Amino acid sequence: MNYNTQMEAAKNGIITPQMELVAKKECREPEFIRQHVAEGKITICANKNHKCLDVNGIGSMLRTKINVNLGVSRDCKDYDIEMKKVMAAVNMGAEAIMDLSSHGDTSGFRRKLTSECPAMIGTVPVYDSVIHYRRDLATLTAKDFIDVVRLHAQDGVDFLTLHCGITRKTIEQIKLHKRKMNIVSRGGSLIFAWMCMTGNENPFYEYYDEILEICREYDVTISLGDACRPGCLADAGDVCQIDELVRLGELTKRAWARDVQVMVEGPGHVPLDQVEANMKIQQTICMGAPFYVLGPIVTDIAPGYDHITAAIGGAVAAMAGAAFLCYVTPAEHLALPNIDDVKQGIIASKIAAHAADIAKKIPNARDIDDKMGDARKKLDWEGQWQCALDPEYAKSIRDERTPEFDDTCSMCGKFCAVRSMNKALNNEYIDIL
């Protein structure tokens, strides 16, 4: 049987080559993957035109995946630097790259990504619409926006963030409920502004069926953007956020009816004690569709350290059911991240994801931790580097502070508990001084 999308194949009992690859990576049976793809609880973001893709699955019952946001802006416009960030992110284990470029030759960079990058590629077409047409926002038509969606799909983009859940009703809600931070989603703010200036309905909502046909043709996953995500703790869980989430649940059903895969994007700033509840509400309203979260950031006062605030929230979110973590860098709220910011953001997100996978008892997730324990017990430094998330950095710290004795570190020296216990249990003399 021929099939257009992974979901269509799964619903008809077909295990695709992509499902086989995901099953192998996740230590699961292919039928397990097929069943959950059919139900919409696993997405395999794999555009038919992305030929160099290293396929991964996204779902709460799989390893938590990491997305890295990149792309140029008017103030930072070097695409060569962005490509270096892309390859560095892939080498550090990022499963997805989102191109958020808002300046210059966006189409050329996007096609370079889908022809050279093995990670899943995501984009936000509403950003690109103004750049593509080189016209002010208010002059664009609904057809212009939809045509850019089609262009991105043709270019091989695996998932598209579309802010379909914000409607003209949202305009009144924002005015009535007086949020502290209003809308902080860049895409959401553009749609909100367009609706205000033109008096028209959100084109991504009004022409959703046409968008579904485009996504079905190329097997593009829709990432339903949360235009009303909270941008500060005070706005978490408010009417605007929850009303949009209900609409995203309805849009999820409509996409699944057309065999189009869906992810649902989740909140940005959320108090720590509300993170788990947010995940459970989403799972209920969106029927288990994979949840893709930015952070969540659990305090508003740490600019320069938001990779840490996001990792705290991300670990709790993933443990409670989030499937996909969008990394946050130290530059969040401040600037376009440089290569070092990208690295710190990825490492923080991978720590959060891995910690959550262990808590969820994902198959084999803790194996590497157990190997690290064995290496530390034997004071096997080379073995520890092999297990480390960032071996080069770990090794550099030890090399910069070289201990007097190779079987110790410069913190404890011969007072090392591991060394003393090994010698004591082997009936050896324990020399301290």
Annotation: binding site: 69, 98, 127, 163, 185-187, 226-229, 265, 269, 292, 333, 409, 412, 416
Nearest to 99 by CA among 115, 117, 123, 118: 123
Annotation: binding site for substrate: 69, 98, 127, 163, 185-187, 226-229, 265, 292
Q: Is 121 helix (H, G, I), strand (E, B) or coil?
A: strand
Burial code (b: 16+ CB inside 10 Å, e: under 16) for 153-169 equals bbbbbbbbbbbbbbbee
Annotation: binding site for Zn(2+): 269, 333
Instruction: Quickly tell me which residue has 């201990």 as its tokens.
Output: 403
DSSP secondary structure of 292-338: EEETTB--SS-TT-HHHHHHHHHHHHHHTT--EEE---TTTTTS---
CB atoms within 10 A of CB 402: 9
Residue 98, strand partner residues = 69, 122
Spatial neighbors of 394 by CB under 8 A, at least 6 apart, are 384, 385, 388
Annotation: binding site for [4Fe-4S] cluster: 409, 412, 416
CB atoms within 10 A of CB 388: 15
Q: 324-326 and 65-70: which strand pairing?
A: parallel
